[in-house]
Structure 1
């Protein structure tokens, strides 16, 4: 019996990891790329629109630069990405030409899925490419991303792209054929065929990135990507690249994560699932209730203090008197401005410091309850 969510998907985002595209030495494996392209072309031939989120740029750049493993330093990663991205897209272009398909390189930054103007431009670009029958091939723009503002891995990127393009399905491909209830190396480990609620994974031992040294993910980031997608109403299939054809045919392979939520703004998905807070703002009990129960904005009157080094626009945790984070939001003030705002009313701040200081410390539209 096939999976209806897969068979009925008209727009699909497929994400493939570095380890599924490259050799042990770090270079692009032509056979693996060719096999993946054949699978994507077959899905296109059946009438599905496909967006491919492809890792592999940094891995592809390792060998030409004489590197044996993925470097730790950001500048070295960016250098490898600069070399490898062209090699990767060239290989895809050649393979897609066998199927009379055109590749389009789309390099995204966090701004492209979180800032409204960038988001709308990105959406328009994807819409135009798909309408023209072009296959968008997406990667993070590693050459300009900073360590503070980046997706961190292409699993999260794929989940946010699935939301951005209004996908019906997200397929995560790696070197593991699904989610297991224990490390796959454990002889007693069993495949988890379906996940209907993320709470079902409470007792599942989830592994980290593999030993090949070419990727950044691992099962942890795939589960997090699945969480982002399903909470936005998009089902997810997690399986190996070797079983990609079966997965897109709707066969019961890998692990199917059922959708649990509805669409919401991409910047809020990113804020909750793909950011590290740069500080914390402490709230009194009344402010906690206002945020959690009434979904109100955070005003200065409800603040008791702040920690960390952050600037206006940075993500911060909003913490109750007990030290537990109740929300995360994009703050409107620098950390060194917070002390003069603590506990003061908006009219008082406007009269003393000017109207700019009477605005919300965190607006409810830039906040997620945790």
Structure 2
């Protein structure tokens, strides 16, 4: 790799099918290929975060299962075995090249709480600044369905957002996004460049044919939405291709490149947390005039703009804001509880009795983030 390439912070997501053999066990060959390419990036001075699937696929045979388990307790038990096997292999491969790997297991609840979100970000930043390779996975051994990311595609986009990555690479067993399902249509064509996720792009996103992983093409497109809204270029490609990681960085790899629009204003860390990671607890309905001031004039939301309150929610909670038609306008942090707000709205009789219930810096408009928050 040329030493003249600008040093970047890169998040790489690798799918289960790209790490395991046909029999569902860890493929030493595949892990060596991936680690060698990551070492090439590190040797060139780049920072790398690896979001690695494969824990369940790597562990279920050792659990005594002939096929990939479908019951949650068996999946979690398999993950507890497989995660250790994955980390042991990664650590040996990176250490043999002079690099230290670390393990970070995350659940969705780690992102829901703003303080824990900041702790995850701070930990990742320290590791990257010290030259460590963080290896991130969802903590499948303890995660319940309501706290799952659903797939590591989404997790990788959230990690890329939190570390303010320069590029996200999502690698799986398919070359990228096609205009038609490549497994069903021989004339399907690879879409090489995408600048905006349109309804047409979403319509062509079918599911992966892999029986090992959990994320299909639709989940990858949802992940790309998060990355693009954070201003992060994203690449979808086939992990089996030679030097895919190195070539994707230079734009030479076969795959689909998603590039954020240069004219767009991107979110700061506070608004990223509100948009992508928080869990709205209630909602309020606001008047049209308040909606216009909030969106067009970037003004605070005051008590007089509130039409209805649907709780319960506490002071400091993230809530949804809707207009009279029921359309969701966005989300924001409220500085008053639903109980207090319901009481105060009944007392508003003239404009002089008013107070700020949400500051504009704590509000994220749906149109701004391009996805439903």
- Shorter-normalised TM-score: what interval? 0.7 to 0.9
Give the match for residue 329 of structure 2.
326
CA-to-partner distance for each residue in 1:236-281, whole Å, 9 max, x for gaps? Answer: 1110111362342221410111132455234533543466755543
Give the match for residue 369 of structure 2.
none
TM-score under structure 1 normalisation? 0.80
Give the match for residue 267 of structure 2.
264
Give the conservation status (yes or no) of the 8 Å contact 2:111–2:277: no
- Give the distance between the partners of 1:218 and 1:8, measured in 2 at CA: 32
Give the match for residue 177 of structure 1.
175
Give the conservation status (yes or no) of the 8 Å contact 1:12–1:50: yes
Alignment of structure 1 residues 81-96 onto 2, 5 Å:
81-96=79-94
Aligned residue among 339, 349, 364 for 1:368: 364
Runs of 5+ unmatched residues, structure 2: 367-373
Aligned residue among 304, 317, 326 for 2:307: 304
Q: Report the Cα offset of residue 188 of structure 1.
A: 2.7
Deviates more, 1:294-303 or 1:29-38: 294-303
Q: CA RMSD in A?
A: 3.6
CA-to-partner distance for each residue in 1:51-83, whole Å, 9 max, x for gaps? Answer: 11112223333333345335464x655444333
Deviates more, 1:295-304 or 1:15-24: 295-304
Q: In the superposition, relative to structure 1, how do residues 346 and 238 fare at CA in structure 2: closer, same or farther (>3 Å)?
A: farther
Aligned residue among 283, 287, 290 for 2:290: 287
CA-to-partner distance for each residue in 1:312-365, whole Å, 9 max, x for gaps? Answer: 6665432211111111235566767765455654999x99xxxxxx762x5544
Deviates more, 1:267-276 or 1:339-348: 339-348
**Are 2:46 and 1:14 equivalent residues in the alignment?**
no
Give the conservation status (yes or no) of the 8 Å contact 1:301–1:346: no
Aligned residue among 25, 31, 34 for 1:27: 25
TM-score under structure 2 normalisation? 0.80
Q: In the superposition, relative to structure 1, how do residues 32 and 278 fare at CA in structure 2: closer, same or farther (>3 Å)?
A: farther
CA-to-partner distance for each residue in 1:77-112, whole Å, 9 max, x for gaps? Answer: 544433332122112112223323221112234465
Q: In the superposition, relative to structure 1, how do residues 38 and 265 fare at CA in structure 2: closer, same or farther (>3 Å)?
A: same
Give the match for residue 354 of structure 1.
none
- Give the distance between the partners of 1:147 and 1:330, measured in 2 at CA: 26
Give the conservation status (yes or no) of the 8 Å contact 1:239–1:247: no
Give the conservation status (yes or no) of the 8 Å contact 2:17–2:210: no
Give the conservation status (yes or no) of the 8 Å contact 1:104–1:137: yes
Q: In the superposition, relative to structure 1, how do residues 337 and 235 fare at CA in structure 2: closer, same or farther (>3 Å)?
A: same
Q: In the superposition, relative to structure 1, how do residues 154 and 203 fare at CA in structure 2: closer, same or farther (>3 Å)?
A: closer
- Give the distance between the partners of 2:349 and 2:224, measured in 1 at CA: 41
Q: Report the Cα offset of residue 113 of structure 1.
A: 5.1
- Give the distance between the partners of 1:169 and 1:79, measured in 2 at CA: 33
Give the match for residue 194 of structure 2.
195
**Are 2:204 and 1:208 equivalent residues in the alignment?**
no
- Give the distance between the partners of 1:93 and 1:308, measured in 2 at CA: 48
Give the match for residue 371 of structure 2.
none
Q: In the superposition, relative to structure 1, how do residues 137 and 32 fare at CA in structure 2: closer, same or farther (>3 Å)?
A: same
SS at match of 1:233: coil
CA-to-partner distance for each residue in 1:20-70, whole Å, 9 max, x for gaps? Answer: 223455432222222211211122223322111112223333333345335
Q: In the superposition, relative to structure 1, how do residues 121 and 189 fare at CA in structure 2: closer, same or farther (>3 Å)?
A: same
SS at match of 1:65: coil
- Give the distance between the partners of 1:344 and 1:296, measured in 2 at CA: 22
Q: In the superposition, relative to structure 1, how do residues 58 and 338 fare at CA in structure 2: closer, same or farther (>3 Å)?
A: farther
Q: Report the Cα offset of residue 167 of structure 1.
A: 2.2
CA-to-partner distance for each residue in 1:288-331, whole Å, 9 max, x for gaps? Answer: 22322233444444333355776666654322111111112355
Give the match for residue 216 of structure 2.
218
Aligned residue among 117, 130, 136 for 2:134: 136
SS at match of 1:282: strand
